[in-house]
Amino acid sequence: MKNLIVGTAGHIDHGKTALVRALTGIDTDRLEEEKRRGITIDIGFAHLESGDYRMGFIDVPGHEKFVKNMLAGIGGVHLLLLIVAADESIMPQTLEHLQICQLLDIPRGLVVITKKSLVEEELLSLVEEEIRDLTQGTLLEDAPILAVDSIEGDGIPELLEAIEKEAGKIDRDRLTFDATNRIFRLPVDRVFSVRGFGTVITGTTLWGQLTKDDFVGVYPSRKVAKVRGIEVFNAANHSASPGQRTAVNLSNIDKQDLNRGMTLSIPGILEPTYALDASVRILKNAPGPLRNRAPVRIHHGSAEVIGRIRLLDSQTLEPGQSGMVQLRIDSPLLCFPGDHLILRRYSPLTTVGGGIVLDNSPRRHRKSELPHLLARLTSLEQSMEENADKWGPPLCELIVADAGLTGVNSKELVARTGFSEAFIKEVLPSIPSLMVIPQEPLLAIHRDSFEALESEVVQVLSRYHEAKPLGPGFSKEELKKRLLPGGTPACFQFVLGELEQAGVIEVDGKHVRLHGHSVDLNVEQEKIKEEILTLIGRSGFEITTLDKVLERVDKNNRGAREVAYHLLSTGQIVRISESLVITQDLLDQLAEGLRKKFPEGQTFTVPEFKKLFSISRKYAIPLLEFLDRRRITSRSGDKRKVLGRSQA
């Protein structure tokens, strides 16, 4: 059975509640004040099964003072019923409600003329003409117009048939996509307690799936609750899907920790925002221009927040104009690209326009950034318009490109897009401009960023080789700190691997050098090299310090120290301690002499070591400690033994 959310709209006392009651048999006015005054104050709910559809009806108040409540319920509606009373025709809230529904991009709808028995046929035809004029250029431009009498039931069967027919024209693939590829999301529109059950919230499930015993995050507070039970269209159910009126019984959370305007979603990784970038459109009949930094009321889902609007491409937006803006808001809001917003004046309360979220985690934009930013936002808006629900890849690509060298991981992309991590992991490898790094969570960087990094690596290594031609290469650790300070080790290792495979660099242990770079000593450096090796070798096992050797080579020759560091990096000489050095040839002789004198398993003492190599304790101890570190020997108490070659 297919799910359908039907919403009413229209002026006060035009018969919205009576119409829903005629269709479903349910009175949606539940408040004592509503019954006493005979008007709808808050949103009400009803349900009906008809044909292939399970329908949830959202009845909204029509009084101008309660537009805030109307906005809390109209989100998530698939089919609009615009209600116009035959005896009053078009009224102010008829227009405002229609404009709001147009801004929210409700996919389909139809018009219902109520109270038909109160007027003559001629007047009924006139009302229909006025409705046709009103709906030109809106979602209801070619919609059916039906006249009914909700009290007598005249026209109700025909209306129900028309609802089902219009429902059949709704893109069901979009609902399927949202169910399988988006995270669970439910804006809260009611909170109450039920004796014996505890806290209950209701709302329309927009995305994803919710199952009994799941844990959910409550945003923006980020509290976590457990799902004790689920009702869909007032019937107990094991799970909830998009397009269903849903009641959720929650445990581990108190009623006072919840209120209308909050959102249930996946726990943990989502980030409510205090800012968002959006494309907005000002109504043609708005009371005046929208000025830079003007305070506005922002309605999103079931939430209302106060914010200020910063116009990014102009100083004012005149009625009928569109533009890019950043909204800075006073309280945190959970939203995602593609979400619709309604903007109302701070005072007096009037709807001035609406918009669509493009970025839910923007920086404060500097003036110099605006040309690039506006091009980026325009590109994203166009992809949303052209691809409907298939703009996930372009959105991911833009977010990753904007992140630069550090890239964006799959969990961060969930928070930035609202797509499930499984969908993101499937999509990222299919985007040619991205490089996907196999770490957990999966990381993506843009190829433009990678090429920029490659250029920087080449520049850094070129300068290094020029300054230190005999150097072993640039330190890997220092290279990461300089070029990729915010990147993960896995990301840096991946980048090095790609550059090495491309023949740009060579990685040797802890050092990185340009591919093909070789160290060639000139005649003078070769002479210094031989002198250094001779002096160290002449010391034998009575090891000396590097400073003493260099002093004897040439007190003022900085090139001698550079040659010495080259010998250290190539392993021709070895540091025994911070200051003491020995040649690798002597070290090999030392290890081989030990193995011959003390076969594997036979122990020896320090005095025996001193006697074997004719050295003092001053040098014996540093040498033995070095051999221990190299795993040539192993110490146990006062004795040592020579380890096998495989261990060393």
Q: Does the pLDDT at position 512 exceed 50?
A: yes
pLDDT band at 566 (very low <50, low <70, confident <90, very high): confident
Are the CB atoms for 164 and 4 separated by under 8 Å?
no
Where does a domain end: 127, 149, 170? 170
pLDDT band at 124 (very low <50, low <70, confident <90, very high): very high
pLDDT band at 525 (very low <50, low <70, confident <90, very high): confident
Residues 421 and 514 in one domain: yes
Q: What is the pLDDT of residues 578-591, one digit of tens each?
A: 778 888 888 888 88
Residues 165 and 193 in one domain: no
Where does a domain end: 375, 405, 433? 375
For the stretch 317-322, contacts whose Cβ atoms lie closer than 8 Å and that sit 24 or more positions apart, written own/partner, are: 317/280, 317/282, 317/289, 317/290, 317/353, 318/282, 318/289, 319/282, 319/283, 319/284, 319/285, 319/286, 319/288, 319/289, 320/282, 320/283, 320/284, 320/286, 321/281, 321/282, 322/279, 322/280, 322/281, 322/282
Mean pLDDT along residues 184-205: 92
In this structure, what CATH number is given to the domain that contains residue 322? 2.40.30.10
Residues 515 and 402 in one domain: yes
**Residue 297 forms part of a structural domain:** yes
Mean pLDDT along residues 177-181: 87
Identify the domain containing residue 361 by its residue range.
Answer: 273-375
Q: Does the pLDDT at position 609 exceed 70?
A: yes
Residues 449 and 494 in one domain: yes
Q: What is the pLDDT of residues 347-385, one digit of tens each?
A: 888 999 999 999 999 988 988 889 988 998 998 898 888
pLDDT of residue 647: 45
**Residue 648 forms part of a structural domain:** no
Residues 514 and 419 in one domain: yes
Task: Name the domain count of the chain.
Answer: 5
Where does a domain end: 122, 138, 170? 170
C-alpha 637 chain-centroid distance: 57
Q: Does the pLDDT at position 564 exceed 80?
A: no
Residues 423 and 503 in one domain: yes
**Residue 544 forms part of a structural domain:** yes
What is the rounded average pLDDT for all residues in the chain?
A: 89
pLDDT band at 387 (very low <50, low <70, confident <90, very high): low
Kindly tell me the sign of the dihedral angle through the C-alpha atoms of 75, 81, 87, 89. Answer: positive
Residues 19 and 76 in one domain: yes
**Residue 384 forms part of a structural domain:** no
Q: Does the pLDDT at position 646 exceed 60?
A: no
**Residue 143 forms part of a structural domain:** yes
pLDDT of residue 214: 96
Residues 191 and 242 in one domain: yes
Mean pLDDT along residues 495-512: 88
Residues 21 and 161 in one domain: yes
Residues 240 and 357 in one domain: no
Q: What is the pLDDT of residues 314-344, one digit of tens each?
A: 889 999 999 999 999 999 999 999 999 999 9
In this structure, what CATH number is given to the domain that contains residue 456? 1.10.10.10
**Residue 125 forms part of a structural domain:** yes
Residues 10 and 136 in one domain: yes
Q: Does the pLDDT at position 388 exceed 70?
A: no
In this structure, what CATH number is given to the domain that contains residue 31? 3.40.50.300
pLDDT > 90 fraction of the chain, expressed in percent and rounded: 53
DSSP line for 447-477: HHHHHHHHHHHHHHHHHHHHH-TT---EEHH
Mean pLDDT along residues 412-423: 95
Residues 452 and 549 in one domain: no
